[in-house]
Structure 1
Amino acid sequence: MELASALASCESMIKQGSTTFYKAFGYLPSPRREAVFVIYAFCRMIDDAVDEPERAPYPLDELERSFLELERAEGHFIWSSLRWLFATFPALGQEPFLRQMEGQRRDLRFTHYRTMEELEGYCYLVAGTVGEMLLPVLHDRPGLDVVESGIYLGKAMQIVNIVRDVGEDRDRGRRYVPLELMARHGYSEREFEAGEVNEGLRQVIRELDATAREWFRRGLRDLDTYPPASAFSVELAARFYEAILDEVEGGGYQVYTRRAHVGQLRKLKLLAKIGEKYAPRYLATP
């Protein structure tokens, strides 16, 4: 009963923290579904340790120490949940979780990005690693090509986060939009700090949009190798997230004062469209 309660607590975290991911991955069969919830919950704790340390149950260093001594870790539902996760999916290793912590730790010392290369490295650490975590759960035999696709999908979602949260991040003293990209489109640091929405900013966002969509394309190229339920959930999550880019454009690229989100009607339409696509595969699965 203790494990059941711990897993339920992880589900509660994703339900409260991300309706997009909860909706998309809630269609998975057990135990894949519970495993995704555990991974989300722990990544949420890592993120909160940096962004909201006053509310986080552990500072990042303590979180990492307990993770490295997982068999002895107590005092929070996440530890028994993680022990269950690694026992249930033995192909999953600790390395992507440690790289995720490295990426979040970078936020404490590296807050203004200069190049797309720097930004892509960051996107890998904080989001591409999530793809590496999820693949042993969602895919039965992920080869190198599938792993690369999973990493691209995570990085694409992080670019969407960056586009959506430009204003929030600026208010926290962070600029993920690379300086070289701003310079290429004639958008200055002064304009960024002032929150000016002009053609320069629109061109910056459009280039980030194009990058994200290309990474989504690469991220979804191997879906036919997944079990049908996993492929459905992965594509649904990706399309929900990609739709945020449409909302940014539809909102006139006002990324400083408006946080773009996808409404329920749009999500229902995407659900129906993707559900229709996967229905024959479900019916063909014994």
Structure 2
Amino acid sequence: MAQRRAVWAVYAACRDGDDTVDELSGHAAQLGLDLWWARVQGAFSGRPGDHPIDLALAWAAREYPIPLSAFEELHEGLRMDLRGHEYHSMADLILYCRRVAGVVGFMIAPVSGYSGGERTLHAALMLGQAMQLTNILRDVGEDLTRGRVYLPSELLAEFHVSRADLERGVVTPEYRALMRHLSALAREWYAEGRQGIPCLHGSARLAVATAARAYEGILDDLARNDFDNFGRRAHVSGPRKLLMLPQAWWELRTAPAPLS
């Protein structure tokens, strides 16, 4: 119960920051993000505000060795969104995926408990990055309406896809090739991330394995839809979600020995 409460506190705090950037704009968004960061720092220093999320995060940070540095990276990632960061290279995109999602693994692993040391934390990082890249591939059309393009300009040029092509929302052979390339990269990250799941303690194993299976299922749906992510949002249907729990359980039963 205590672990579940702490995980809720971490995710609620992360979601609170993300919602601030998504739901506000301009100066209001900047002020909101500054306030969010001050609240996080207050929680970690033992001086939380009155908001239930602040109080829960303060308790979690007191009970578990959750690193404030992971929240610092998340803050930097949210600032990238706020500034309308331009993504030129894959390194830019990878940094963004690390900051807004990869580091969440660093927050959760100390709560669940884990073995395998740094190798497990690296696997958690890769799993978070895979999930964020999946989000980006799913939401290309939706992000365009907000003026956001996370696909690196160098990669767009390499695959002969222009910003104008994206704004037209036409799925060309070149665009499909780009989506296949990035989907394959996400799947590589999922494979690397799964290596750390057997090292997690208790119920966290099945929870994380099921979440990973659900997110990778979005890539499957995107491929089935011929990579049209402009007018239709890829998702995992109800029946397929029901199959993911036993599938995740079986993968854990047949997984190789934990990292050491």
Normalised by the size of structure 2, how large is the TM-score?
Answer: 0.90
Provide the C-alpha distance between the structure 2 equivalents of 1:205 and 1:167, rounded to a whole number of angstroms.
Answer: 13
In the alignment, which residue of structure 1 is the partner of 2:54?
Answer: 79
Provide the C-alpha distance between the structure 1 equivalents of 2:143 and 2:114, rounded to a whole number of angstroms.
Answer: 37
Provide the C-alpha distance between the structure 2 equivalents of 1:114 and 1:270, rounded to a whole number of angstroms.
Answer: 36
Could you tell me whether the CA contact under 8 Å between 1:228 and 1:278 is conserved in 2?
A: no
Could you tell me whether the CA contact under 8 Å between 1:247 and 1:262 is conserved in 2?
A: yes
Identify the match of residue 69 of structure 1 among 31, 39, 42.
42
Provide the C-alpha distance between the structure 2 equivalents of 1:251 and 1:34, rounded to a whole number of angstroms.
Answer: 38
In the alignment, which residue of structure 2 is the partner of 1:231?
Answer: 205
In the alignment, which residue of structure 1 is the partner of 2:77?
Answer: 103
In the alignment, which residue of structure 2 is the partner of 1:179?
Answer: 153
In the alignment, which residue of structure 2 is the partner of 1:44?
Answer: 15
In the alignment, which residue of structure 2 is the partner of 1:7?
Answer: none
Specify whether residues 180 and 198 from structure 1 end up closer, same or farther in structure 2 by C-alpha distance, changes over 3 A only: same
Displacement of 1:38:
1.3
Size of the alignment, in residue pairs?
A: 250
Could you tell me whether the CA contact under 8 Å between 1:127 and 1:155 is conserved in 2?
A: yes
Provide the C-alpha distance between the structure 2 equivalents of 1:67 and 1:83, rounded to a whole number of angstroms.
Answer: 8
Report Cα offsets for 1:168-211 as digits up to 9, x if no partner. 11111110011122112211121012111111111111111011
Report Cα offsets for 1:109-161 as digits up to 9, x if no partner. 14331111110011111111111111101223451111111100110001000
Could you tell me whether the CA contact under 8 Å between 1:135 and 1:142 is conserved in 2?
A: no
Provide the C-alpha distance between the structure 2 equivalents of 1:105 and 1:182, rounded to a whole number of angstroms.
Answer: 24
Stretches (4+) displaced over 6 A: none
Trace 1:151-230 onto structure 2 (pairs within 5 A). 151-230=125-204
In the alignment, which residue of structure 2 is the partner of 1:22?
Answer: none
Provide the C-alpha distance between the structure 1 equivalents of 2:245 and 2:190, rounded to a whole number of angstroms.
Answer: 17
Partner of 1:69, secondary structure, is helix
Provide the C-alpha distance between the structure 2 equivalents of 1:195 and 1:280, rounded to a whole number of angstroms.
Answer: 42
Farther off after superposition, 110-119 or 77-86? 110-119
